[in-house]
Amino acid sequence: MTRTGHPAIADALNGLNTVKIWYDEPMSRHASLKLGGKVDALVMTENEDQLGEVVRRLRAKNIPFLPVGNLTNILVRDGGYRGVMLWMHGLNQLSCVPLADGQYGIDAQAGVTLAKVVALAAAEELTGLEFCTGIPGSVGGAVWMNAGAYGMEIKDVVSFVTVMDGEGKKKNLRRDEIAFAYRKSNLSADAVICGARFILQKGNGAQIKGRMAEIMKMRQEKHPLQYPNAGSVFKNLPGLPAGKLIEEMGLKGLRHGDAQVSNLHANFIVNKGQATASDVLRLIRIIQEKAGKEKGLELETEIVIVGESL
C-alpha cells in the first residue's frame, strides 16, 4: 500500500494509520463486471469515526470522492476515477432490535451486503425483505438507488437512513424526508450513507424461507450469473421491461469485444473474458440509439457510470 503518486490525496490522509488505502487501484479487481480503470485511491475505514475524519479531510482539500459498496452496480470508465472511492466494506455492523407494536428493526451499516440482511431476517422469522433475495449489492447502494424487485422497493421497508455531511456529522433522515422514486432517491451521488433501519414484522419462518428460495430460483433461471455482470443495465420503462424492448429490437446476443448483451436476459451485459469499459459503453450507446430511432424511447441506465475515458 505504498504511495505511487497523488500527493494531494496522500497529504490529506496523512497520519490515518488504521485506514486502508490502495493507490492507483484497478477497479477490475473489485467491480462485479471485472473491468474498469484505476481509481486514484481506494479508501476503506473500519468505523464511522474514521469515515467522518476521512470525509472532513477530503472536503477540506476539495478532493472528489464517491462512496461505493459492493461495486455490483457501477461502471468505471477505462481512464479511471480521479479522486477517492470510499469503500464502505468495513462498515459491516448488523443487528436486530425489537420495537413497539410488535415490529422489529434491522439496523445495518452501509457496507453490509443485502444477502446478510436477508439472511438475518430469515433467521429471525421476519417478513418484508424477501424481495431483496439475490440482489447482490450492499445497504448503502440499495438505499441510494431505491433497489427493488417483484413489486417491492427499499422505500417500502426503510424507517430511517443515517447520512453523514461534509463536517463528518451524522443525522437520521426519516423515510418521509427522502424523495424515493423508481431506482433513485434525492440523495446526491456523493451522499455518504452510513446505514439504515428496516422495519419488519414477525412472519411464518417456513413461508419466508420458501419465498426466498422461490425468488432465488427465478433469478438463477433468468439472469446470466455465470458471467461477470452489473445487474440490470437499464431502468424499465412504464409498462415495458427494458429487457423485452432490447430483445424486440433484435439486440440479444449483440457483442462488442468481449462484452455481450446476454442471450439469457437482454437487460444484462456480460463480460465474456477480457471486456473493457469501452466495450460495455459501446453496447449501451447502440441500444440507446436504436431505442430512440426505432421506438422513440429513451432508455436510462440503471448502472452508475463514472470516471474518465482513455
Question: Mind telling me the catalytic residues?
Answer: 183, 232, 302
**b/e sequence 196-218, b meaning 16+ C-beta within 10 Å:** bbbbbeebeeeebeebbeebeee
Residue 47 phi, psi dihedral angles, 5° rounding = -155, 175
User: Scanning the structure block, which residue is given the C-alpha cell 468505471?
Assistant: 76
Q: How far is CA 132 from CA 152, 235, 268, in A?
A: 9, 17, 18
- Of the candidates 286, 110, 99, 71, the residue with the CA atom closest to the CA atom of residue 195: 110
The burial class, CB within 10 Å (0-12 / 13-18 / 19+), for 304 is middle
In this structure, the number of other CB atoms found within 10 A of the CB of residue 91 comes to 27
The three state secondary structure string of 93-123 is CEEEEECHHHEEEEEEECCCEHHHHHHHHHH
